Amino acid sequence: MSFIQGVKSELQRHSKLTIIFALNFALFFLINISTSIFKTEVIINNLALPLNFSNIIFKPWTIITYMFSHQSLGHVFYNMLLLYFSAITFLNFLSEKKLLFVYLVSGLSGALILLIFSLISPLTFQNSILLGASAAVIGIVCSMATYLPNLPINLFGIIEMKYKYYALLVFAVTSIIDFNINTGGKISHFGGAAFGLLFGYLLKQGKDISDWTFYSKPQKKNSLKVVHKQTTHTQANSVIENQKMIDELLDKISKHGYDNLSKSEKELLFKLSNKENK
């Protein structure tokens, strides 16, 4: 199967990932058609996030639309390439719902941290705008760095490394090197990365902040109190055991490679990963 066919197959399997890609490419073409053919910046000015609170008041939707908007071909190509590989790894273990949640909240975190900096130093970011999926994608990368830090991956199919080192490499290349170029955008990466790290860490502790029931108030005490505690305790033990088995299988992969797993071990890893997705 060719790379293009592989991408097509994965996008057909994952509807939410497909929507993210479609929005990014659709807005990229819309922005370029409007600026190149119709010579107007109305579209980009209403999609990009203005780094000025007085302007945001009149364009509140831009705190969402900016993370799906790109102007240059290189920008959208790199972000979508990184998103594809990061998302496929993410979806091998977690659900599309979690992927979309991390993408959106990482993007919001990146925007908020940059807006705070623009308040501190308004002259630095005067008349500036923010656009691009970088902060959102970095959040996805970093979430896996804390959730499965020792997951082995092959960089360019040549170099094998643990995911935590891969995430560190990606962050260094995209956010630290040449920091004086596109400083505002790179500051937003720190916000996206911070949320991704937090999400992965909490999820590994059994706290799924993408699930709205996580925020619900504890139920009132009732006559079923003991039964409820026993059920919760049993479920908690089951989650811990599942995670322990996943970690053992991942450790074996890191030492000997995925192909050295037996058929039953591969099936078990797939089954346990699907349980985590529910």
Alpha-carbon torsion, ordered 210, 187, 174, 163, to 10 deg: -40
Q: Examine the domain organization and report whether 138 and 254 are in the same domain.
A: no
Range of the domain at 226: 219-277
For residue range 1-41, what is the model confidence (pLDDT) as tens digits?
566 777 777 777 888 999 999 999 999 999 999 999 999 99
Count of structural domains within the chain: 2
Structure tokens at 69: 């908007």
Residue 212 is predicted with a pLDDT of 85
Q: Examine the domain organization and report whether 199 and 229 are in the same domain.
A: no
Among 177, 204, 231, identify where a domain stops: 204
The alpha carbon dihedral of 167, 259, 94, 269 has a sign of negative
The residue type at 155: L
* 211 assigned to some structural domain: no
**Partner residues linked to 160 by β-bridges:** 154
* 214 assigned to some structural domain: no
* 212 assigned to some structural domain: no
Q: Examine the domain organization and report whether 139 and 174 are in the same domain.
A: yes
Is pLDDT above 80 for 78?
yes
* 84 assigned to some structural domain: yes
Residue 65 is predicted with a pLDDT of 97
* 64 assigned to some structural domain: yes
Region for residue 232 given its phi and psi (left: phi exceeds 0; alpha: psi -120 to 50; beta: otherwise):
alpha
Share of the chain above pLDDT 90, in %: 58
* C-alpha distances out from residue 249 to 130, 147, 157, 164, 243, Å: 41, 15, 21, 17, 10
For residue range 145-197, what is the model confidence (pLDDT) as tens digits?
999 999 998 876 778 899 999 999 999 999 988 877 788 899 999 999 999 99
Structure tokens at 96: 């599309």
Q: Examine the domain organization and report whether 223 and 172 are in the same domain.
A: no
Q: Examine the domain organization and report whether 184 and 223 are in the same domain.
A: no
For residue range 188-224, what is the model confidence (pLDDT) as tens digits?
999 999 999 999 999 999 999 999 888 875 644 444 4
For residue range 223-271, what is the model confidence (pLDDT) as tens digits?
444 444 444 455 555 666 777 777 777 777 656 655 566 767 766 776 7
Q: Examine the domain organization and report whether 49 and 21 are in the same domain.
A: yes
The residue type at 254: S
* 245 assigned to some structural domain: yes
Q: What is the mean pLDDT of the chain?
A: 85
* 101 assigned to some structural domain: yes
